[in-house]
């Protein structure tokens, strides 16, 4: 109930302020289970992706959204739960299995399950390598996959930015359903899982127009942080040398 109340309130506001556009909504089935697989550009994807759909989309989210303390924690927990985010503890070795079981439960109930195969938001607007958990869900639940390409949400609200750029008009493209029935029964084959995942990511790349990077986004973020620290260290060393030279002179 809260989901539809929130959507009824937010929908006219978002349309008035941001004028979002959508293509291919007819590709999303009106009933029955399916996976909505999207690229992940921004936190605002949670709003503008499901916005044009007449059905509720259930997303698997990190448990930290539901464990915050104080008023902020209560607001986060209430909002995320109300809009269909299902908390999954991503710590420990069984985190992936917990997410798979949760996703299968949602699909067996005939619902739409939203997944971001990259596993995290892009650090620079490019499309990164997908994790094979989405392929396991597809083959075990035996459901179609609808590619959902977010467009412009990275420029609208890049990671780390609280205030959106009101000059950006975000959009979403839903691609034709992807059928992987030829692989049913092969969900334990790693090569098959990678092939299914790569096909989904290729569809997202074509729909979004993003540059593809054959690297996991989490690894790319670590590399960027390390490079930034090394640059800071080099800059600090250069400044120290310059200061020493001035003092000596």
- Single out the residue of 208, 150, 203, 205 nearest to residue 178, CA to CA: 203
pLDDT for residue 224: 87
pLDDT for residue 123: 93
- Single out the residue of 44, 209, 193 nearest to residue 127, CA to CA: 209
CB atoms within 10 A of CB 247: 7
What share of the chain in percent tops pLDDT 90?
Answer: 61
What ranges do the domains of the chain cover? 2-214, 216-249
Containing 227, the helix (H) or strand (E) segment is helix 217-248
CB 211 within 8 A of CB 126: yes
Which whole number is the average pLDDT over 233-247?
63
Least confident interval from 23-37, 52-66, 181-195: 52-66
Q: Which pTM value belongs to this model?
A: 0.85
- Single out the residue of 38, 7, 70, 44 nearest to residue 152, CA to CA: 44
- Single out the residue of 156, 171, 87, 167 nearest to residue 121, CA to CA: 156
**CATH number of the structural domain 2-214:** 3.40.1130.10
For residue 244, pLDDT over 70 is answered with no
Torsion of Cα atoms, 97 then 215 then 217 then 88, to 10°: 0
CB 113 within 8 A of CB 35: yes
For residue 59, pLDDT over 60 is answered with yes
């Amino acid at each position: 109930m809260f989901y539809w109340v929130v959507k009824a309130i937010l929908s006219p506001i978002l349309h008035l302020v941001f004028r979002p556009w959508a293509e291919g909504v007819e590709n999303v089935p009106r009933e029955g289970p399916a996976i909505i697989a999207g690229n992940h550009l921004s936190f605002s994807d949670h709003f503008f992706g499901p916005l044009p759909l007449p059905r509720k989309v259930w997303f698997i989210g990190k448990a930290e959204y539901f464990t915050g303390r104080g008023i902020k924690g209560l607001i986060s927990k209430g909002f995320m739960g109300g809009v269909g985010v299902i908390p999954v503890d991503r710590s420990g070795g069984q985190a992936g299995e917990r997410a798979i079981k949760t996703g299968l439960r949602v699909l067996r109930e005939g619902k739409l399950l939203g997944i971001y195969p990259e596993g995290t938001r892009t650090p620079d607007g490019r499309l990164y390598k997908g994790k094979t958990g989405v392929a396991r869900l597809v083959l075990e639940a035996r459901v179609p996959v609808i590619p959902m390409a977010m467009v412009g949400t990275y420029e609208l609200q890049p990671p780390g930015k609280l205030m959106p750029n009101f000059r950006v008009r975000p959009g979403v493209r839903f691609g034709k359903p992807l059928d992987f029935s030829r692989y049913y029964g092969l969900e334990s084959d790693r090569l098959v899982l990678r092939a299914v995942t790569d096909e989904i990511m290729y569809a997202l790349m074509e729909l979004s127009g993003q540059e593809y990077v054959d690297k996991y986004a989490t690894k790319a973020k670590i590399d960027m942080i390390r490079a930034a620290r090394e640059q800071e260290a080099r800059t600090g060393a250069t400044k120290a040398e310059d200061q020493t030279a001035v003092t000596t002179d």
